[in-house]
Structure formats: C-alpha cells, structure tokens
Chain A
Amino acid sequence: MENPVIVSLQDIVVDFDGEPILTGLSLDIHDKEFVTLLGPSGCGKTTTLRVIGGFVEPKSGKVLFNGKDIKSLPPYKRPVNTVFQKYALFPHLNVYENVAFGLRLKKMDEKEIHSRVMEMLETVGLKGFERRSIAKLSGGQQQRVAIARGLANHPKILLLDEPLGALDLKLRKEMQIELKRLQQAMDITFIYVTHDQEEALTMSDTVVVMNKGHIQQIGTPEDIYNEPKNAFVAEFIGESNIVDGVMRRDFMVEFAGASFSCVDKGFAVNEIVQVVVRPEDIQVVPAIQGTLTGVVKDVIFKGVHFEMRVEQAGYEWIIHSTQASQPGELIGMNIGPEEIHIMRRMEE
C-alpha cells in the first residue's frame, strides 16, 4: 500500500496581500494514490493545488517532486496536469483540438496524436464528439473533455479542483465512479480537491482534511470517519454528537452524567476530553434498559433512516435509526465501547 512519495510539500507558506493563507503546510503524497484535499470553502485547498501545479509560488518552503525541488520550475515544465474548476477549455478549438493541445506542443507526430486523442476520448466516453465545438457541449461533457485533455499528456499527477462542483447530483455520482475507475486504469496519482465530505470518502485512498490553511488530519476514509482527531474533523465528516467528558482512567470515560467503557487510553487521570458519537452508533432501547434516558423531541424521515433529536439532561442527541420512536416518548440510549471516540480538546 505504501508507495514511494511522489510529491512532498515541506513547510509551505503562502501569503496573499500580506494575508497568511498557508502557514507552514507539510504533506507527503504517495505515488498512484487517489488523494483528496477536503475542507470548507476558503481553507486553502485550491492554493495548495496551485502550489503543486506551479501557479502560486510559495513565500517559503519546499516543493519536492520525486525528491527534487521544483519550486522554481514553471507550470509548463512540470509533469503535472490540471483539471480546472471551471474546465477552462479553449473556446476557439473543437473537442479534438482541445485534447490534442498538449500533444501538439510536444511536437508529436500527427498519427500518434490522433491515436492518443481518440484513445482519450474513448476513455471518457466522448467518441464521435471530435468535431463538436466546446460551446455545444453540456456541463458533463465539457468536464469529460477537460479530463481527457489533462490525461492525454500522460502526466505523473493529475490535479483536479472541484471538477464535479457544477454538475447535478446524479451526474456527480456517475462521474465519481468514473474518475475512480480512470485513476486506477491510468495508474497515476490523482490529487482531488472538494468540500464535499461524502465525495471525499467515496473516492479516496487518502483524505487530507484542511481548515484555515492547516492540515487537521491525514488518513484513509475509514480512519477519518471513525477516528477523527479533533472536533473539527468529526463535525466536518458527517454528522456527529460531540460532548465534553472526563477520562476517569484508561478505558473509562464519563459524559452526559454517566460512565461508559471505551477503548481509549493514555490520557491523564481526570483529563477533560471531547467525546464523539456518530448518530447511527446510538442504540435505542426501552427507557429502563438505557444508560442514558431522554425525551424524543422530533423525528424526521430521511429516506433510509429516521433522524431523531433527543433531549437528555440538557444535552441534545441526534440519533439515526431505522425504527422511529414517537415525539414525546421517553427512550433509553446505549453506546458500545467501540462506538465511543475520545479526542483531546482542540486548542483554538
């Protein structure tokens, strides 16, 4: 699984007009992985991508490609291609010429260009569209042209900046699967930017969660979901219940007025911590059997499950359950040791 590191960002600092955007960001990206930069809008994802692409020169820090510093290498000399947020297709060229753009610059011979372009268009499902003008394509088709154009150059790394942002939900889901397939078929590194956590979890080998120019956590989708390092990650990756608690000793935590066994250790005795419980990990039981008891405030049907808000001793719990309780009903809640996740308190 651990491929060699292909791109390494070391202590990258980027300012815009004196405003710090990235403040010492370090990140290793492994070869042939699907890596996603995930975070809220404005957190510096695009800027990070542009540092790798060569469009933003960091004030300090190193950008290593296969161990070599490429900080001063201009974009057109980097073995990296980009799928831009708004596609950035050339409107004066047709589909074929857009895809061939990079190949023509390489002075490849016409036969080779032709076979490469046709191969790429076939890969993205746009065979027969060669002569079409860009303006006559739908959003989804433009997206595919942009991807084909990026891949045609056979880059070592493809950078994708929220490429599915403008597409409707159904098309987005299709393209997610498509992109994952493409990445595996081409056998190269994809660095993908999104603010959509579900997208990140579905497609990635590695997710990099960012906030305010800092990396919050790096890990597999499972890691990030099940073992969030802090409240920001927990909250950003899906819904969760986050409450303050006290570590009484190893494997024993107290919160919401009750003691729970857990699987975490290594905290100081009586250390104040934050506890994360996913809504689907709370078991609803009859009131007398519950470690916690609370009153159901409301119930919303969400398609696959019901979402309930439960009031318990001043806390409000969100529970996802396939069985609905009645609003006003007193219910019991149990949480297994595996489902309790302890985090050190976030220093703001």
Chain B
Amino acid sequence: MLKNKSLAYPYLVWMAIFIAAPLLIVVYFAFTTAEGKFTLNNLTGIAPYTAVFARSLLLAGAATIICLVMAYPVSYFLSRMRANKQHIMLMLVMLPMWMNFLLRTYAWMTLLEKNGIINKILGFFGIGPLQMINTAGAVILGMVYNYLPYMILPLYTAMVKIDDSLIEAAQDLGAGTWRTLTRVLIPMSAPGIATGITMVFVPSVSTFIISRMLGGGGNMLIGDLIELQFLGNSLNYNVGSAMSLLLMVVVLLCMSLTNTMGDEDVEGVI
C-alpha cells in the first residue's frame, strides 16, 4: 500500500482543472442567457426534444439488455474454461477494441447498405433488398457491437471468482440449472452485472457517432442534439449545456440505481 498521500496530488490537480472546472462552466452556461443573466429557459427549452431523450434511453436500454443477455452465458463459459484457454478467449473478445472505433462503425455502414454485402447475399437467396442502414435497429446493432466487450469483461471478472464447488453445492441441495442461475450465479455476479450495465449504457446513451453513421437523420440521439448546439447550425451553448446537464443527471440516476443492485447488503436479504 502506498502511504504517501501526496502522490495523489497530481490527479487532484488534474481533476480540478479538467473535470471540476468544465463542470462548473457547463452549469453556468446552463442557467444563464447569452447575455449572462440567470434563466431557466434553457432547461424548459429542452421540452420539445423529449422524444429524442426518450429514444436515446430506449435504444441505449435495448442495447444494454441485448449485451447483458449475450454476454452472460459467454462470460460464464469463459470463466469455466481452463486458465490458459481463458486468456486466449479473452484476447479474442478484446480484439475488436484494438481497431479504431470509427473504422469499425464505417465497416458496418458498408455491410448494411442498400447494395452492401449482406443485401447482396440475401438477394442471392431471393430475399430483399432490406432497409437495414438508417434504422433504429442499425443503431442498436452498432452499440451492441462496439460495447459488448465492456459487458463481457466485468461479468467475466465477477464470475471467475465463483468456485465450481458453489455451483455443485447448489445442485447438491436440489437446485436445477435455472435455480442455480437465479439463486447463486446471478446474486454472486451482481457487482459485475452492475458494472457491465453502467459501462455499456453510459456510452450508448451519449453516443452521437453511431447514431449519425448508422441511424441516418431519423434516429437522432441526445448526443447528436448536443453536438448540434455546440458545432452545428443551431449553435447555442446555453441550451447545449442544459442538455448536457440533464443527460448527466440521467446517467447519474441510472448509475446509482445499478450500484445499489451491485452491493446489495447480503445480510439484509432474509
């Protein structure tokens, strides 16, 4: 253990300059007019965009659930493999993360296009062409593809700690597969589930690249909206800050929700 607390000072300074200060600036902009007067109009001005907020939460939520459902069994089997195989498989899971994020998403664009590879193959069987690009489904797919490893890793980390003998003990006491899952595996991997949900949901709900590249104009998310306020033709720092602030509150709410699930007080369960 490091005893010398002064070693943490560089980070404290970093935090003050690059995290706390910008946050204060965002708060300032969110509650002032362009002339610097206090106002709540920025926040109330978000009301027309409720649908965009709802869509963001919905798509990010769907992507998170799909990631969880897909990653859970994968992580379980990964955690039951022999140690040397586990390392190879983990590398494979992380492999896509080594490629540039934009590149990966571009790749999906060409795959999903009207005359992209998938539609060509489908056409070969007399199906389609299907409208895949520029749909909500494509946005969810992009989120799942990009953030799935962030779900697998924490789940795997939680599950390697569960000894085989605990699973056997559950079976020994009369639990079949389903009840071993619900009474032992899920409660014991809850911290991993909470971390995984946070790590997928937070970037998904605030993304703007995935929605712009795969969602077309019809699937605008909060991220896109905020970007428009700062860089696009709407150009309104004050409304943009208010939106950022609201997004932050939403994210914090969701995180505190999953965190209470993660470290549920085990002694109070009775």
Contact = CB atoms under 8 A, between A and B. Distances in A.
Given A76-B175, A91-B188, A93-B266, A101 B165 contact: no
A250 B29 CA distance: 109
A106 B174 contact: yes
Given A90-B184, A93-B266, A93-B269, A105 B165 contact: no
Contacts of A96: 270
Contacts of A8: none
A93 B184 CA distance: 9
Given A90-B166, A94-B266, A94-B267, A74 B171 contact: yes
A102 interface: yes
B133 to A, nearest CB: 45
A121 B265 CA distance: 23
9 contacts: A76-B171, A76-B172, A81-B172, A84-B169, A90-B169, A92-B188, A97-B270, A102-B174, A131-B267
B47 interface: no
A195 interface: no
B190 to A, nearest CB: 8
A86 interface: yes
A83 B176 CA distance: 18
B55 to A, nearest CB: 37
Interface of B: 163, 165-166, 168-176, 179, 183-184, 187-188, 266-267, 269-270
Contacts of B187: 92
A90 B187 CA distance: 10
A101 B170 contact: yes
A92 B169 contact: no
Interface of A: 53, 55, 74-76, 80-82, 84-86, 88-94, 96-97, 101-102, 105-106, 131, 133, 149-150, 153
Given A75-B171, A76-B174, A90-B188, 7 more contacts: A75-B172, A80-B172, A81-B172, A82-B169, A94-B269, A97-B269, A105-B174
Contact of B179 (A80, A86, A105, A133): A105
Contacts of B163: 86, 88
Contacts of A93: 266, 269
Contacts of B175: 76, 105
A174 B170 CA distance: 28
B266 A88 contact: no
A178 to B, nearest CB: 21
A149 B171 contact: no
B168 A75 contact: yes
Main secondary structure of the interface of B (DSSP, over half): helix
B176 A92 contact: no
A153 B173 contact: yes
Nearest to A96: B270
Contacts of A89: 169
Contacts of A153: 173-174
Contacts of A102: 173-174
* Most chain A beta-carbon contacts within 10 A, residue among B172, B188, B269: B172
A76 B170 CA distance: 8
Q: Which 10 A-B pairs have the closest CB atoms?
A: A102-B173, A88-B165, A88-B169, A105-B174, A75-B171, A82-B172, A76-B171, A92-B187, A76-B174, A92-B266
A233 B31 CA distance: 87
Given A93-B266, A105-B179, A131-B267, A88 B168 contact: yes
Given A106-B174, A133-B266, A153-B173, A101 B168 contact: no
B128 to A, nearest CB: 45
Nearest to B190: A92
Contacts of A88: 163, 165-166, 168-169
A161 to B, nearest CB: 10
A101 B183 contact: yes
Contacts of A74: 171, 176
Contact of A53 (B166, B170, B172): B172
Given A105-B175, A131-B267, A86 B170 contact: no
A149 B173 CA distance: 8
Nearest to B163: A88
A181 to B, nearest CB: 23
B173 A81 contact: yes
Nearest to B164: A88
